[in-house]
A and B are shown apart, each in its own frame.
Chain A
Amino acid sequence: MNFKLKDIVPQLITVTAVVLVFGFFTYNAQINMENRGIDFGYGFLSQESSFDVQFSLIEYDGSHSYFRAYLVGLLNTILVSVIGIIIATILGVIVGVARLSPNYLINKFAAFYVEFFRNIPLLLQIFFWYFAALRALPLPQDAEAMFGVFFLTIKGLYVPAFIWQNFSVFFYSVVAAIIAIIVIRIHAKRVQENQGKQIPVFLISIGLIFILPLLSFLIGGVGLSFEVPVLKQLATTSFIYEGGVSLPPELIALTLSLSLYTATFIAECVRAGIQGVGKGQKEAAASIGLTPNQVLKLVIMPQALRIIIPPTTNQYLNLTKNSSLAAAIAYPDLVLVFAGTALMQTGKAIEIVSITMFTYLTLSISISLLMNWYNKKIAIQEK
């Protein structure tokens, strides 16, 4: 009999403890809700929300449902995360490479940047940009135009809006270009493996991505015009810009601080990745006659990326989770709109907090599953 008391008892005790704790919580929650006359259920999601949101990507006002409010918050969170990730990646790669520069000044400058922004709490940085730095911007009527079309004011950044005609044709042309590039890449790889011939994939790709959309303008009847924001007087001292797209200062402060903060961590990942590729690899590649560009593209980068990508994905996740700090400066993200305003109105604490947590959990776990899959794919195949 391989049944051992010593194996069963610890598991049994742990499980009992967990079940007891959860049971205790559920029991109390039931009693508390009964006493306060709250009923548990997710039916409120379809009710009219009757509150307004300052900034939303989809059409929304008080007459829409709570579920719609949830979507507004989620989309705003995703918007800020995506912009932040793009800026942080560009900045992080530049700083990470600069950290390895032989130039003493550049090296120290990058190190200073990393040490400076990494050691200050993100919330403090957000507050600094929002309450101190962006408040020093000019009023709408005093703002000077940048490049004639951008207006950076205390009420936000005003940029021209694109007005498309036949947008769908343009969109399909871009999709077609991307599909064509993928097909060509696969074909080029096959040709290289079979015949050893190299096809200039990069040049063809660049050509395709420009030419196909250009054709859509010339033939497909796609039109593009800009709507430049124009200053308009509301009252004697109150001015706003009309037309164009306005980015609220909350969004600017949030993306700025998130990307400046996360870029420091990405820079360290990039540095570690490039340093992690052995010097011998570079020398070996050079000695078999590869050009410096080829060494970088075919030898260094594939190995460095293997080290860089997992921790960088983690940083992307952190950025997404940190974007919930938006609630502190009233940027209407998921936490503020849903776990803040909607919770205050409905009083459904358990349901709303659980939905919010579940959303973030789904986001995180799906990204980490994706990362695990990628890791497995690029891991060195050891024999």
Chain B
Amino acid sequence: MSKINFLRPDKSNLNTFLYLGSFLFFISVLDVFFNAFFSLNLTGFLPNFLSFLLPLILGFVGLYFIRIEFSGIRYLDLLNKHINTNNFNAILSLLIIFVIIKSIPPVLSWFVIDASFAGDSKDVCTGSGACWTYIKVWMRRFMYGMYPNAEQWRINLSFIALVLMGSVGYFATDRLKKYLTLYYVVIYPLIAFLFIFFFISGGPVFFDFSYGIIAAILSIIIGFFIPAKYKFYYFLIVPLALYIILKYFIFFEEYIELGKLDGLNWVETGAWGGLSLTFIISFFCLIFCFPIGMAFALGRRSSFPLIRYISVGFIEFWRGVPLITVLFMSAVMFPMFLPEDFFIDKLVRAIIAISLFEAAYVAEVIRGGLQALPRGQYEAAKSLGMGYWKMHIFVILPQALKLVIPGIANTFLALVKDTPLIFVVGLLEIVGMLNLAKTNPKWLGFAMEGYVFAAIIFWIICYAMSKYSYNLEQKYKTDR
């Protein structure tokens, strides 16, 4: 055993330094641990200032002793490499470890140990912890808003059906998926939309939309037999004409009794609320903003100057203003622009406003993808004799959209996070319901629990979405 130089730990005295260092480090962590969990001050006999800093000093010296390069012990080397590279890093690591240990007991006691779960009135919440009883009692309101209790199965059913519709596609075989893609992009959103809207509100709107869908499907099917030369004009005129014929000349409603489903009361949109409204708004806006955004992205890169200028104006206008003023506009200014006896429901107005707003962001993201494609792709498609629409649908958009998956996911995340803003038009989703519940005289003083609850829910949704988009990105990554 050679002479020990305490200022310079080296490999020749590895064991001595290792035992000494880990002992000091262990002592320092133990001190903080006892302090945090049992509020015991082991070093209370020392002066106040020293007792406060002692764990840091001890831990620092301990980490200094065990910082021996190429010690040959795998875990020690890993430790040194990751948290103990130099003095500065050692102190930061110690501080973080201490902060974590210190913050466990108060957080744990607030969330679980001192919290109250039982009962259904404010009286049980006497402890210093959280009052989860409050959340339990208000759960229905946080989930469904003012939607009548007896009718809430309709919301549940809609969402279950939506999940089922989605999972059919998720578990389908790859070969089937190819054919399902068209269905998913065009028809499925419409059906889901119809289903949700019809079910949740329960009303006659059903038929107006179903004419639209039937007209769209019919015109697409007939469209396959139209020569390519006339396709453009065909799609310009026929769908609208079909819709008008269906609506005014074939009285569909008389033949089908579906619209007269008794027992489904109309629930006005003012009563919708809570987390389900967050989902409904996100879902509808997501469906609407994507095609609008795509159209404007193509418009911005169009070779027709007038269309280009209009698209640029649209995109820059919506991107330049905050969402809250857009909602203000939809609430106070938009009714002025409509004929006097014409009334649009405030939920629909909010959805239109948010969709247009997010469409501008989607348009910019997609434009990024379109610009990133090499020009050769366009030229190759053109040289095969493809027209504008064929080229974009079969060659350009599939590649461009693949490129911008993260960007689109970010936009959708922003959309979900923006939904609480609808309080401006007087709709109360989960955050709005929280604010309402917290002013209830019977349940004053539980703002913290409510916000923590909503934060956890939103965090789970958003985190799951971002992870899913990351997976998609990995899956569709093609080497270019």
Chain A contact residues, CB within 8 Å of chain B = 6-7, 10-11, 13-15, 18, 24-26, 28-29, 31-33, 35, 101-106, 109, 115-116, 118-125, 127-128, 131-133, 135, 321-322, 324-325, 327-328, 335, 339, 343, 349-350, 353-354, 356-357, 360-361, 363-365
Contacts and interface: CB of A to CB of B under 8 A. Distances in A.
A335 B340 contact: no
B466 interface: yes
Interface stretch (B1-9, B140-148, B328-336): B328-336
B96 A32 contact: no
Interface in B304-357: 304-307, 310, 316-317, 319-325, 328-329, 332-333, 336-340
Contacts of B92: 103, 105-106
B320 A31 contact: no
23 contacts: A15-B306, A28-B337, A29-B336, A31-B339, A32-B337, A32-B340, A102-B82, A103-B82, A104-B83, A118-B462, A119-B417, A119-B458, A119-B466, A122-B417, A128-B448, A321-B323, A324-B322, A335-B324, A335-B325, A349-B333, A360-B325, A361-B317, A365-B320
Interface stretch (B210-218, B368-376, B418-426): B418-426
Contacts of B419: 121
Contacts of B421: 123, 325
Interface residues of B toward A: which range? 35 or more
Contacts of B70: none
B438 interface: yes
Contacts of A6: 232
Contact of B306 (A11, A104, A123, A128): A11
Contact of A128 (B316, B324, B451): B451
Interface in B423-480: 423-424, 431, 434-435, 438, 447-448, 451-452, 454-455, 458-459, 462-463, 466
A10 B307 contact: yes
Nearest to B85: A102
Given A103-B83, A339-B325, A353 B333 contact: yes
A133 B455 CA distance: 14
A135 B89 contact: no
B124 interface: no
Nearest to A121: B417
B261 interface: no
A349 B236 contact: no
A360 B336 contact: no
Given A28-B336, A353-B332, A360-B321, A14 B310 contact: yes
B324 A105 contact: no
A132 B451 contact: yes
Chain B interface mostly helix, strand, loop or mixed?
helix
A325 B82 CA distance: 41
B97 interface: yes
B359 to A, nearest CB: 16
* Ranked 3 nearest A-B pairs via Cβ: A119-B462, A364-B320, A104-B82
A120 B455 contact: yes
B475 to A, nearest CB: 22
Given A124-B454, A321-B322, A335 B328 contact: yes
B328 A353 contact: yes
B161 to A, nearest CB: 27
Given A127-B451, A135-B447, A360 B466 contact: no
A357 B338 contact: no
B447 A131 contact: yes
A124 B451 contact: yes
A121 B336 contact: no
A28 B307 contact: no
A26 B317 CA distance: 19
B158 interface: no
Given A29-B337, A322-B322, A353-B329, 12 more contacts: A24-B337, A32-B340, A103-B85, A119-B413, A119-B462, A121-B458, A123-B420, A127-B447, A324-B322, A325-B421, A349-B333, A360-B321
Interface string B291-310: 00000000000001111001
Contacts of B333: 349-350, 353-354
B447 A11 contact: no
A106 B96 contact: yes
Contacts of A335: 322, 324-325, 328
Contacts of A115: 463
Given A103-B89, A324-B324, A121 B420 contact: yes
B340 A116 contact: no
Contacts of B340: 28, 31-32, 35
Contact of B435 (A13, A127, A356): A127
B93 interface: yes
Given A106-B96, A121-B431, A324 B462 contact: no
A119 B332 CA distance: 31
Contacts of A28: 336-340
A356 B326 CA distance: 10
B85 A32 contact: no
Contact of B97 (A14, A33, A35, A105): A105
B448 A18 contact: no
Nearest to A102: B85
B93 A116 contact: no
